[in-house]
Amino acid sequence: MSSSPVLDATHDPRRRSWVPVPPGSDFPIQNLPYGIFRCGGSPPRVGIAIGEFVLDLATLDAAGIFRGTPLDGQPLFERASLNPLLALGGAAWRAARRRISDLLDEASPELQGNERLRDAALVPQASATLMLPVEIGDYTDFYSSREHATNVGVMFRGPDNALMPNWLHLPVGYHGRASSVVVSGTPVRRPCGQTLPDGAAAPAFGPSRQLDFELEVGLFTGPGNALGQPIPLAGAHEAIFGFVLVNDWSARDIQKWEYQPLGPFLAKNFATSISPWVVTLDALLPFRVAGPRQDDPAPLPYLSESEPWSFDIALEVWLKTARMGERARIARSNHRHLYWNVRQQVAHHTVTGCNLRPGDLLASGTISGPTKDSRGSLLELSWRGTEPLALPSGETRTFLEDGDELTITGFAAKDGVRVGFGEVAGTVLPAHP
């Protein structure tokens, strides 16, 4: 069984990099998130965000920077996905973090003083194309926000039956679609499907009229587990490499007609957007907080959590219509509102012996908070379309319209250090005629 992870010099708020990091940047030396990028005609490779640059790990590896570490001698960085790195596990991830943090430390002359290598390895983010960072094997979507589940339950079943009888006993989830997970910036085509219009006796086919976003945070798994071998809760954090922002696009009218009895299918399989930088669990350790109390009812022993494994990550949702000059914030929430934490999700997912593999995506479910402005979907913000959202342009929205750009941002901040995620953005394209 594993012990709780500890902070080290890579988390020291006083540590500074010789690479300039502008105030308010999501990417100081304490963060070091991983991504896959391409530059000019070069093949995709692994990079780390620092300030307004990408640190090219393939170039550093070729120069022998990782010699003597568990990362040496393995083709990890001249790759189009992070999966080989994810498969190595926590000891290698922490060795990489220490090595890269030391290299970027303002007191270290090693890379700073090597002009040729430094210039080759630092690429301005503005000239890099960020790609889907992980080859996602399986995508699971949970439903772990009590406020979200309650809001949806009240709208569809009334306040007396808002939470289903199982909800407080297990992290409800479903197996989603991995092939349509796309990186931030990818446009999203409005889906067509079957709906049952109010009062109609038979379904109709056509473009969804209730296209929605869902504010979520997803985790990427590391080495995983052998089939038949559950991951116990006490060590479940070691199965997690890092986190991205997730927009789980949802067609509410399609969902309403199709979802019984097996849950959402086409309403959510057309696109799921993620942010390009994977913020590691190690980088988020200083921001751990206790989640909501779980004593009424207490979970079964295999889900019983005694450590603080929620994260204080501020989350914001921004909308920009085709007529707006700049985006407007329409919601603010926080990862800490989740009722079921990431260790409980991993333990529950694998308790049957289901095997997680390197690069599986486990999303949190919509993260709504206790206040009206912390609701993580338009379904809730507009209360099923009955309370249209007023925008600064004078327009209103109940659900997304063609040309709308939806952006989610997120960051954790403490002791003057901001560990951010960047953003996940997507613009709605009209349905195919």
Neighbours of 45 (CB within 10 A): 23
- Check if 148 is active-site: yes
Helix (H, G, I), strand (E, B) or coil at 202: coil
**How do strand 361-363 and strand 139-142 relate by DSSP bridges?**
parallel
Beta bridge partners of 289: 310
Among residues 148, 237, 348, 349, which one is catalytic? 148
Q: How far is the CB of 417 from Ca ion (least distance, A)?
A: 30
Q: With respect to Ca ion, which residue has the nearer C-beta, 101 or 247?
A: 247
- What is the CB-side half-sphere exposure of residue 102 using CA atoms within 13 A? 10
**How near is the Cβ of 381 to Ca ion at its closest, in Å?**
15
Q: How many residues does the chain have?
A: 433
Report DSSP letters for 68-81, one per residue. TSTTTTS--SSSSS
CB of residue 248 to Ca ion, shortest distance in Å: 4
> Closest CB to Ca ion among 238 and 380?
380
Q: Which among 39, 17, 20, 43 is positioned nearest to 120, based on CA atoms? A: 39
∠ CA 271-53-19 to the nearest 5 degrees? 145
Contact positions vs Ca ion (CB under 5 A):
141, 214, 248
Report how far apart, in Å, the C-alpha atoms of 289 and of each of 33, 134, 256, 404 are: 21, 27, 35, 35
CB nearer to Ca ion: pick between 173 and 224: 173
Integer-rounded Cα radius of gyration of the chain: 22
> Which of 408, 398, 406, 397 minimizes the C-alpha distance to 427?
406
Q: Residues 6 or more apart from 42 whose CB is under 8 A from it?
A: none
Q: Residue type at 287?
A: F
With respect to Ca ion, which residue has the nearer C-beta, 156 or 302? Answer: 156
Q: Which is nearer to Ca ion, 214 or 305 (CB)?
A: 214
- Looking at beta carbons only, is 141 or 423 nearer to Ca ion? 141
State the pairing for strand pair 272-274/240-247: antiparallel
Residues 251/19, Cβ–Cβ less than 8 Å: no
Residue nearest Ca ion (C-beta atom): 248
Quote the least distance from Cβ 132 to Ca ion, whole Å. Answer: 19
Q: Minimum Å distance from CB 317 to Ca ion?
A: 14
Q: Does an H or E element contain 109, and which?
A: helix 109-112
Q: Which residues contact 300 (CB under 8 A, 6 or more apart)?
A: 169
How many helices (H) and strands (E) in the chain? Answer: 10, 26
Q: Which is nearer to Ca ion, 5 or 263 (CB)?
A: 263
Least separation in angstroms between CB 286 and Ca ion: 28
Structure-token pair, residue 288: 């751990």
45: amino acid identity, one letter: R
Residue 32 near residue 101, CB atoms below 8 Å: yes
Nearest CB to Ca ion, comparing residues 138 and 214: 214
The three-state DSSP-derived secondary structure of 260-319 is CCCCCCCCCCCCEEECCCEEEHHHHHHHEECCCCCCCCCCCHHHCCCCCCEECCEEEEEE
Catalytic site positions = 148
